[in-house]
């Protein structure tokens, strides 16, 4: 037990160190974006003296490493700074948008994960059959299709032609169940198509790898049915690879949600980050980027913990 806790502690420490390195990369890479935030705020007609004064007031004239230390200290204390474009705390802006992105990601996860696991396990149980070949072909095609194309086609078909849903995905706080489902139908469908395809393929590969092991052959020789072999023997040993598949799939969701929120004009953190890039709002951009990086590391850490707990071989 102590060895397991020590190993988990090392994983968490490595994740925190990685997040620290990522924060430095995010800060300095975002500082390399072309343009000047002070010039963008004052406009092209601003005098050089006014631009210089604003740069000094915002601390943009300080060396990069000093600005990074100040920014990191504020980030650790929950104060990522003031938005340059909105003139309000970044924490307040993120707090108004983050719940909406979490709702979209949560609904997508609830739909995509069970469906992907079912398709992956079913395809593995019927490996080599016509059903398996059809599912493999369909999932391969869906993985190859980018989200922006799926989202654009969904808008043209369901919003413009059929007029079933609105092209703007927004549900007010007092929305009814029908309005809520109508607002989230197209974004969730767009994200699920690619997400399900990726996770189903990885789940299928993980289960097939376990079905080819000698202990499965022994269980079959003893008369166990295919369903019992998969559910009682292969699936418990495939928890680690399946957790990795789910974590990688959900981490892919973090990138896809940026495109989906912009196309469907969804008021989430991803669209806020795109606006920050347009306005060269560095504090807001850096805070949004750190949220996505932290979410990715949490998912990978969760997959590592599941693999360590489910597989004793990984504890040494």
Give pLDDT tens digits for 108-147: 888 888 898 888 888 888 888 888 889 888 888 888 887 7
Mean pLDDT of 53-66: 70
d(CA 138, CA 143): 9
Residue 26 falls inside a structural domain: no
Question: What count of residues does the chain have?
Answer: 316
pLDDT tens-digit readout, 65-105:
787 888 888 888 887 878 877 778 888 888 888 888 888 88
Q: Is 26 a residue whose pLDDT tops 70?
A: yes
Q: How confident is the model at residue 46 (pLDDT cuts 50, 70, 90)?
A: low
d(CA 241, CA 222): 26
Q: How many domains does the chain have?
A: 1
Residue 199 falls inside a structural domain: yes
Residue 228 falls inside a structural domain: yes
Q: What is the largest CA-CA distance in the chain?
A: 85
CA-wise closest residue to 212 among 238, 190, 249: 238
- Full-model pTM: 0.77
d(CA 108, CA 192): 6
Domain containing 160 equals 87-315
Mean pLDDT of 4-28: 83
Q: Is 28 a residue whose pLDDT tops 70?
A: yes
Residue 54 falls inside a structural domain: no
Residue 208 falls inside a structural domain: yes
Residue 74 falls inside a structural domain: no
Say how many Å lie between the first and final Cα of the chain, rounded: 12
Q: Is 57 a residue whose pLDDT tops 70?
A: no
User: Got the DSSP string for 265-311?
Assistant: T--SHHHHHHHHHHHT-HHHHHHHHHHHHHHHHHHHHHHHHHHHHH-
Mean pLDDT of 142-161: 82
CATH of the domain at 275: 1.10.3720.10
Of all residues in the chain, what percent carry a pLDDT higher than 70? 88
Q: How confident is the model at residue 37 (pLDDT cuts 50, 70, 90)?
A: low
| Alpha helix segments (H runs only) across 126-229 | 130-144, 147-154, 177-211, 214-221, 226-228
Residue 128 falls inside a structural domain: yes
């Amino acid at each position: 037990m102590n060895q397991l806790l020590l190993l988990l502690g090392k994983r968490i420490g490595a994740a925190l160190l990685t997040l620290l390195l990522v924060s430095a990369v995010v800060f300095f890479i975002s500082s390399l974006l072309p343009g000047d935030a002070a010039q963008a705020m004052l406009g092209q007609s601003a005098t050089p003296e006014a631009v210089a004064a604003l740069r000094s007031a915002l601390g943009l004239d300080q060396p990069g490493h000093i600005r990074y230390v100040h920014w990191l200290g504020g980030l650790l204390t929950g104060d990522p700074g003031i938005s340059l474009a909105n003139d309000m705390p970044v924490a307040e802006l993120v707090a108004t948008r983050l719940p909406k992105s979490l709702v979209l990601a949560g609904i997508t996860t609830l739909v995509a994960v069970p469906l992907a696991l079912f398709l992956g396990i079913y395809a593995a149980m019927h490996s080599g059959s016509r059903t398996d070949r059809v599912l493999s072909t369909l999932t391969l095609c869906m993985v190859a299709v980018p989200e922006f194309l799926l989202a654009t086609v969904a808008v043209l078909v369901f919003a413009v032609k059929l007029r079933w849903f609105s092209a703007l995905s927004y549900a007010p706080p007092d929305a009814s169940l029908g309005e809520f489902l109508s607002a989230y139908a197209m974004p969730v469908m767009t994200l699920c198509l690619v997400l399900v395809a990726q996770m189903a393929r990885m789940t299928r590969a993980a289960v097939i790898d376990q079905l080819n092991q000698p202990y499965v052959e022994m269980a079959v020789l003893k008369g166990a049915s295919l369903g019992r072999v998969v559910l009682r023997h292969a699936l418990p040993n495939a928890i680690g690879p399946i957790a990795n598949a789910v974590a990688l799939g959900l981490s892919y969701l973090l990138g896809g949600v940026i495109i989906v929120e912009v196309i469907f004009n969804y008021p989430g953190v991803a669209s806020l980050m795109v606006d920050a890039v347009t306005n060269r709002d560095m504090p807001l951009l850096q805070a949004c980027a750190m949220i996505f990086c932290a979410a990715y590391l949490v998912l990978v850490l969760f997959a590592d913990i599941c693999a360590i707990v489910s597989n004793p071989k990984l504890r040494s």
